[in-house]
Chain A
Amino acid sequence: GENVEQHPSTLSVQEGDSAVIKCTYSDSASNYFPWYKQELGKRPQLIIDIRSNVGEKKDQRIAVTLNKTAKHFSLHITETQPEDSAVYFCGGTSYGKLTFGQGTILTVHP
């Protein structure tokens, strides 16, 4: 089955800095890679996703890049704000099953 590794487990940045979270996956058949944000005490919510036929996708301050050859993908957040503080999960879908990474606790200091 799919195995998704996520790094770092915690990330602390100053407001205005960029943040990068990286994930690797094991199953070359994986074709869908979402990123979810979970604020404290809330439900996970999708913030951006990318499919295997695309190398990069951007939505305002967030972007995701995918390297299928190396089997890794990354989330980039620019101009971070305190409200970006949350747990971020990457995921990989293989044969209809979505597996999440271990999560990254992002803290943005004002």
Chain B
Amino acid sequence: DTAVSQTPKYLVTQMGNDKSIKCEQNLGHDTMYWYKQDSKKFLKIMFSYNNKELIINETVPNRFSPKSPDKAHLNLHINSLELGDSAVYFCASSSGTGNEKLFFGSGTQLSVL
């Protein structure tokens, strides 16, 4: 029974397209995150939601729009994809806000051609 699941696992698309990544957690956590891991393995936070409310919004292009329909789901929509968006995107959840264990999803490998 997967704790944090995200789909799809792989996403290959052309520049300029719009795509979405979905994330769901069944741990009852209040906080969910999106992290981006680039080719150098650097993990950088993009967004964080606590009980459906946006609490962290890093310097991310506004082509990236997160949506949290309820506290168990956090989706990421990306408009007008660019080559530099290619990365692995990880969803995560925690019971607290940043000072508790993060449970990561398995990641979405996004390749923009």
Contacts and interface: CB of A to CB of B under 8 A. Distances in A.
Contacts of A95: 98
Contacts of B101: 34, 46, 49
A96 B97 contact: yes
A31 B100 CA distance: 11
Given A43-B90, A45-B104, A100 B43 contact: yes
From DSSP, what is the main secondary structure of chain A's interface residues? strand
B42 A43 contact: no
From DSSP, what is the main secondary structure of chain B's interface residues? loop
Given A31-B99, A32-B98, A43-B90, A99 B104 contact: no
B107 to A, nearest CB: 6
Contacts, number: 53
A103 B55 contact: no
Interface in A74-110: 87, 89, 93, 95-100, 102-103, 105
Interface of A: 31-32, 34, 36, 38, 42-46, 49, 51, 87, 89, 93, 95-100, 102-103, 105
Interface of B: 40-45, 48, 55-56, 90, 97-102, 104-107
